[in-house]
Every structure is written in C-alpha cells, then in structure tokens.
C-alpha cells in the first residue's frame, strides 16, 4: 500500500514537472509543494528568517530557470531542490565567512545517540552537540539529512549526487568519527 501511494505521488509529480518544463508558468504547484520544507531546511542552518528567505528565493529561481534540464530518475523533485539548497547555503557561508552551527532538537540527539549506541545522559548529549558543531560542513550536513530530516540513504545519495551505498558509507564514517570524539573526551 505504501509503495503504491509513493508511486502515485511520483507519477503526479512527474506530470507537474513535465507541465513546468513545457510552460514555466506552471511551476507554481511545485513551488507550493516544496517551498516550506526547503525554507525550513535552510532556516535551520542560517538561523535568520530574512537570509533563509533570500536563499530559498534563489533556490527556486535556479530551479525554475533549470527545470527544463531536470531529468526524472525515480526520485522526488525535492532531492534536486535540497541539493540546490545545500549548495546555495554552503555558498552563503563561504561568502559571508560565517560558521554553521547545528540546531538540534533533543529527540534528534537521542535518535543519533541511540544509533551510535552511546549513553543518553545530558553530558554526552552536550558533548555530541559540540562535536557536531566542530565537524566540517559536509559531515554535519550528512548527519542533518539522515537523522534530523529523517531522509533515506537513497534520498541523501540523490541530493549529494552519490550512490545510495556511498551515502550510507559516508554517514557511518561520520558516526564513527563522532564516536571517536566522544570517547576521547
């Protein structure tokens, strides 16, 4: 049942994409469907509503201008939009020379610590958050996509333009790195 629902949604989305490719004025339903989640993804990183709004506008402008180049490969359009959003956010941080701090909900930290098979006491949680904030942006982003955005390895692979297996390997390497940092403390 779940698979057929997902398949139906992709078919509907594919029709919306084709309509937008044929007439950019028909991009609005795709914008409406994904704007909020892309904005929130960016806002979590930049922590400023105006900047998040500006970057989100750039993401959707680039998507609109390049929709004709989009090739449907069985992934939702959101994977492509997340990749653009990730690139634009990273560009913002490079240009502004700002650092990216991860904003994490306690439930997300507990999920990550459970995955890492670490104790869930408050001190360990604080150490994990600090470790995440000191990771390179690429590593932090993998953890965010997997554990905070709850994305599949397949979706992460599509966003990062890597295979599903490579996405899984990279995520677990970051987890091992975090374990090493936590155990060193």
* Cβ-proximal residues to 155 (8 Å cutoff; 6+ apart), any chain: 75, 76, 78, 79, 82, 145
**Tell me: domain 106-184, CATH 1.10.10.10, correct?**
yes
- Please tell me the predicted confidence (pLDDT) of residue 1: 45
Model confidence, pTM: 0.64
16-40: pLDDT as tens digits: 999 999 998 999 999 999 999 999 8
64-81: pLDDT as tens digits: 999 998 887 777 788 889
The burial class, CB within 10 Å (0-12 / 13-18 / 19+), for 42 is buried
Q: Could you give the 3-state DSSP secondary structure of residue 22? A: helix
Mean per-residue pLDDT for 113-122? 70
* Cβ-proximal residues to 145 (8 Å cutoff; 6+ apart), any chain: 82, 151, 155, 156, 159
- Identify the residue with better confidence: 9 or 167: 167
- Please tell me the predicted confidence (pLDDT) of residue 56: 96
What are the extents of the domains in the chain? Answer: 2-96, 106-184
CATH number assigned to the domain with residue range 2-96, chosen from the 4 options 3.20.20.100, 3.90.1170.50, 3.30.565.10, 1.10.1740.10: 1.10.1740.10
- Please tell me the predicted confidence (pLDDT) of residue 7: 66
Residue corresponding to tokens 């060193």: 184
Same fold across 2-96 and 106-184: no
């Amino acid at each position: 049942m779940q698979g057929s629902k997902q398949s139906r949604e992709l078919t509907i989305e594919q029709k919306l994409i084709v309509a937008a490719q044929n007439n950019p004025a028909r991009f609005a339903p795709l914008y409406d469907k994904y704007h909020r989640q892309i904005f929130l993804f960016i806002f979590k990183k930049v922590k400023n509503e105006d900047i998040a709004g500006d970057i989100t506008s750039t993401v959707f402008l680039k998507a609109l201008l390049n929709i004709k180049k989009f090739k449907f490969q069985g992934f939702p359009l959101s994977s492509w939009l997340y990749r653009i959003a990730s690139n634009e956010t990273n560009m913002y941080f490079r240009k502004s020379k700002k650092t990216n701090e991860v904003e994490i909900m306690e439930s997300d930290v507990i999920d990550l610590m459970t995955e890492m098979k670490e104790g869930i006491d408050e001190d360990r949680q604080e150490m994990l958050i600090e470790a995440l904030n000191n990771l390179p942006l690429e590593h932090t982003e993998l953890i965010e996509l997997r554990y905070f955005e709850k994305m599949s390895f397949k979706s992460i692979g599509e966003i990062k333009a890597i295979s599903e297996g490579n996405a899984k390997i990279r995520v677990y390497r970051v987890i091992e790195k975090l374990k090493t940092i936590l155990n060193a403390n």
